[in-house]
Amino acid sequence: MLKFLVGFAAAIVIVFLAAFSYVRLGLFDPRADIEVGSLETTIAMPSLDAAVDRRAEGARNPLLPTEANLIAGARIYQADCASCHGDIHRTQGALAASLYPRAPQFLEDAPDMPENQNYYIVAHGIRLTGMPAWKQVLSEQEMWQVTTLLSHLGKLPPQVSDKWKLMAGATPDTESSQVGPKNGLQARATMPMY
């Protein structure tokens, strides 16, 4: 039995050292213009979801989804988020394909996590993804306004959609006034909102 335990411990150490060497020696491909690997999708994304869920406990949105808060959220989103996450006029963000992992495109696939988790991600960012910690730039109220917008993407009032379209450079009367993911109101995002 002792030989088995020693062998098992040695195998764990060897696997750890091999993984560490692979990363430390630069054998992995650091490019952002490659597909996200299945190992990363299988291990890193669920781990990230669990970490955010654990740390975002207790935060409650103090704002109501009023027209004023939704428009303020759209204004902030348009200025700070749209280039990566897309907007009401251009559902693919200009930088989306340049990021690794790819930034979720919220107008195609709305975030389905609770508001406290969305707020946590907006406030603290996600390291190694390109998602910054907005608490260094935005006030708490502004971060909640963006969070409120994100949680109401599939059900924005037409007047909010129209104002957002104007901010995004579209004309409200030439496009649908309903905003939301193309594949359902609350489709599951494969990459979290980060």
Domain 38-45+69-174: give its CATH code. Answer: 1.10.760.10
Q: Which two tokens stand for residue 44?
A: 């890193």
Per-residue pLDDT of the chain (194 residues; tens, 9 = 90+): 899 999 999 999 999 999 888 888 888 777 778 888 888 888 888 899 999 999 998 889 999 999 999 999 999 999 999 999 999 999 999 998 888 888 999 999 999 899 999 999 999 999 988 899 999 999 999 999 999 999 999 899 999 999 999 999 877 665 444 454 443 333 333 344 44
DSSP state letter for 131: B
Measure the CA–CA gap between 142 and 58, rounded to whole angstroms. Answer: 19
CB 147 within 8 A of CB 74: no
SS3 label, residue 126: strand
